Amino acid sequence: MTILIILGVVLAVFVLWLWATYNGLVKANVRVDEAWSDITVQLKRRTDLIPNLVNTVKGYAKHEEGVFKEVTEARSAIMNAKGVKETAQAENMFEGALKSLFAVAENYPDLKADQNFRHLQEELVDTENKIQASRRFYNGSARDLNIKVKVFPTNIFAKQLGFNEREFFEVEDRNAIENPVNVDFGTKS
């Protein structure tokens, strides 16, 4: 009888542990999904701002078609990206395109003074800050989930319960974001 009670207690503890582990994994998984959603919301906000910014710059810099095409292609890449890795690659392309666009803007003092352009630029800076914060939240949530999935003894059950590690949102080409794009449209003598 005592052995049955001990086995019952051990089984109850095991079931409680499994239940708590499962719930912890579910919470961590939901946090990662929420964090990813935050990133996509901010990326959408930014892609919605870009056409207005491009149109404002176009009014001043009609002969800079290559830059506008690059920004448009980068915007499309972000909107069509699926998953963390594709989105990160599209982000890299977009960062370079934006640098080119702002380099063009530097050549037009009237544009820099334009209130609409300045407002759009401020909105974009605000959005970029929100994207960075969302990336940090996502990567922190992914880290927490990945730890739960990897540590013993949770790792024994995590994959069987359908929980897998998540990719981090990383910049692949650090040079692309650390060094400004060199734009040379040729100076007229």
Query: pLDDT tens for residues 91-102?
Result: 888 888 888 887
What residues contact 32, with CB distance under 8 A and at least 6 apart? 138, 141, 142, 145, 166
Confidence at 120, pLDDT banded by 50, 70, 90: confident
For the chain, which residues make up each domain, given as ranges?
A: 24-178
CB 140 within 8 A of CB 16: no
The pTM of the full predicted model, rounded to 2 decimals, is 0.70
Maximum average pLDDT range among 70-74, 104-108, 110-114: 70-74
Query: pLDDT tens for residues 44-88?
Result: 888 888 888 888 777 776 667 778 888 888 888 888 888 888 888
User: What pLDDT, on the 0 to 100 scale, is given for residue 187?
Assistant: 40
Q: Does domain 24-178 have CATH number 1.20.1440.20?
A: yes
Confidence at 6, pLDDT banded by 50, 70, 90: very high
Mean pLDDT of the chain: 83
Q: What percent of the chain has pLDDT over 90?
A: 32
More confident position, 32 or 185: 32
The whole-number average pLDDT for the span 39-47 is: 88
